[in-house]
Amino acid sequence: MNYRAIWAIYHFEMSRTFRTMWQSIVSPVVSTSLYFVVFGAAIGSRIQSVEGVSYGAFIVPGLIMLTVLQQSVSNAAFGIYFPKFTGTIYEILSAPASFVEVLIGYVGAAATKALLIGMINLGTANLFVDFSIAHPFWMLGFLALTCISFALLGFIIGIWAGNFEQLQLVPLLVITPLVFLGGSFYSVSMLPEAWQDVALLNPVLYLVSGFRWAFFEVSDINPMISFGMVALFMAACLGVIAWIFKSGYKLKS
């Protein structure tokens, strides 16, 4: 294992984050704070509680998950797309580093950024609502697993994208709507029975539900199923990335 190569990529990506502190860290935190003001205060005054949890606290896991998914995908996608855009991807491919080491460097950095922002948002949430975490170990584990899984997805998007418009297509038009429709701000049990069945087709529902269980021990989906879905998604992404490096899809042309 070429640890120096992993560290070089990881260090470069993390340094870029701290050079653009306002865009990379401050902006997502401010956006999440606005969600708390709008949904927690405005809607929370009309909905007192959901499944025995105050509405302001109930939306905390959903808001954190919304930010984490967006940041994981966007950071990983931009991280690998930029070398393609500038042409330095060929230097990376010719370096004495396997695709596993390249993957660990880029995905590790993107997952670290998303995890950092998620923890900052968790601290920010305490300024708006009072809540406690029933299973902090499972919460951290599930959060880390989600960050890594969607950083892998972002890595795939970054290789697939042919321009900056395509780079933003999936995070804006797919990830964000799925999070909003995945029970971030409501319980699926509040929907009509027919729509509950439709909601089960949304993969993000399993993420939000499992993450919320770690906080309040309430969920729309069995938490073990949620963990299994994340693990399955991670395995699928790893399989696609292995095929990409083996075939050279959009890397060697």
Which residues, listed in sequence order, are joined to residue 54 by a DSSP beta bridge? 49
| Choice between 182 and 102, residue whose per-residue pLDDT is larger | 102
% residues pLDDT > 70 (the chain): 95
| Rounded CA separation 223/245 (Å) | 34
| Rounded CA separation 112/95 (Å) | 24
CB 252 within 8 A of CB 94: no
- Sequence-distant (6+) residues with CB within 8 A of 138 are 213, 214, 223
| Choice between 115 and 249, residue whose per-residue pLDDT is larger | 115
Residue 32 has pLDDT above 80, yes or no: no
* pLDDT tens by residue, 156-200: 999 998 888 888 887 778 888 888 888 888 888 887 888 788 888
| Rounded CA separation 79/77 (Å) | 5
| Rounded CA separation 196/184 (Å) | 14
Length of the chain measured in residues: 253
